[in-house]
Amino acid sequence: MDSISPSDTEAALAQAARRVLPAGGFGNFAPEVILREGHGGRVWDVAGREYIDYLLGSGPMFLGHSHPEVLAAVGAQLPLGTTFFATSEPGIRLAEAIVAALPCAEQLRFVSSGSEADMYALRVARAFRKRDRILKFEGGYHGMSDWGLMSLAPKQLANFPVAVPDSAGIPRSVREEVLVAPFNDLETARSLIAEHHDELGAIILEPFQRLIPPAPGFLQGMRELATQYGIPLIFDEVVTGFRFCYGGAQDYYGVTPDLCTLGKIIGGGFPLAAIAGRADIMAHFDRGIVGDDGFLMQVGTLSGNPVASVAGLATLEVLRRPGAYDGVFAMGRRMMAEMEGMLRRHGVPGRAVGEPPLFDIVFAEEAPRDYRGTLRADAAVQRHVNAVLRERGILKGESKYYLSTAHDARDEAQTLEAFEAALASLPRG
């Protein structure tokens, strides 16, 4: 009997995926990439192709794949039970670690995904504030709820503060509940909040929006406005939590919200997320404190799952150690600088945008300050560069390099070599 080649296996799996999965994939990354395993900063697909992995599962694998301390913690937990739908010690210990780390966190509630965390954060803020509308920022990603999928990536631009749905199936009424402002535009936000403050139940934003850092004074100004009008300020730290520093973006940028949402890194590669914040707001999860009228019901089969909790605890234990972030920042700074130098040498307009642990090259004359600024980038050049990178064994998302503590000098050198080759192969007009 002839053996089945890896390429035959890949083709058969792709055919099966097209038969049983809409669009042939999970709805996340390019469906033609079917991964088999990952170790450290690299992954392999089912055909045996090796990639330097800057996708990192969309960010959770900050320590790299199959980190030995995470595997040991998970291996010790598995024989003890995989889920309980009841409070367990690992979840309590992880909650203690998170509350100790984040400036805003007095209490937290676990859920299983960042989308859930953002949805419940908005709901608990509304319960506390007793107002229905929210203010978000165009281009900000806050999960898959109806409210989160308003003006994330609108195909048709509307005048602020009109919200534009990003998905079919969202009720028309949701548009009336969401006000939208441009990121990094404090004056527009101030005007909208002054006009609508008595209607707003929450302000939600990514302190680092997708790739765009906050302009000097922007987060501080939003903190002051939220305090002035008594509106809960939510930082969506699903991506940034424990990535920029151990205290999250709120510590990194020095601005403390009332609530934050967490995901990705805190589960160590397993489904886990959380809402954390002020105890008086989090009290709405406790019927005994707020009574029936103020109680926010929240249950989830896998919330606080013990396997995810021990993986998260092991991850945070590594990140607590002195110097844990030094290598990631040093590598990110070098890569951003080297890539910008290559752009100049090849005469290609572009800027390195982001922070060292999470960045990309935006192919435009100026670095964007908001979502509409990203639309001025050359999408065709971005697609070409990404395609060449993948051909040369570099796996990344459409617009992000996620760096991990497992990436090393060899990965860096190979990535820079591939990036230069991609620029050199660009069609010349």
pLDDT digits (tens, 9 = 90+) for 261-277: 999 999 999 999 999 99
Backbone angles phi and psi of 365, in degrees to 5? -65, -35
Residue 360 annotated among the catalytic residues of the structure = no
Across 215-234, average pLDDT? 98
Residue 264 annotated among the catalytic residues of the structure = yes
Confidence of residue 4 (pLDDT cuts 50, 70, 90): low
In angstroms, the CA 357 to CA 34 distance is 25
Across 121-146, average pLDDT? 98
Two tokens, residue 171:
């009720």
Place of tokens 């990192």: 56
- Nearest Cα to Cα of residue 185 among 240, 222, 155, 148: 222
Which of 53, 118, 236, 411 is catalytic? The answer is 236
Which of 136, 258, 264, 402 is catalytic? The answer is 264
> What pLDDT, on the 0 to 100 scale, is given for residue 249?
98
Which of 141, 253, 325, 402 is catalytic? The answer is 141
Give 211: exposed, middle or buried? Use CB within 10 Å, 0-12, 13-18, 19+: buried
All structural domains of the chain, each given as residue ranges with its CATH number in brackets, are: 69-319 (3.40.640.10)
pLDDT over 80 at 3, yes or no: no
> What pLDDT, on the 0 to 100 scale, is given for residue 2?
55
In angstroms, the CA 419 to CA 345 distance is 13
Confidence of residue 429 (pLDDT cuts 50, 70, 90): low
Q: Tens of pLDDT along 166-205?
A: 999 999 999 999 999 999 999 999 999 999 999 999 999 9
CA distances from 260 to 185, 270, 315, 366 (A): 21, 20, 20, 31
In angstroms, the CA 34 to CA 389 distance is 17
Residue 141 annotated among the catalytic residues of the structure = yes
pLDDT over 60 at 1, yes or no: no
* Concatenated DSSP letters of 66-78: T-HHHHHHHHHHG
Confidence of residue 40 (pLDDT cuts 50, 70, 90): very high
Q: Tens of pLDDT along 303-357?
A: 999 999 999 999 999 999 999 999 999 999 999 999 999 999 999 999 999 999 9
- CA geometry: angle 264, 265, 270, nearest 5 deg: 65
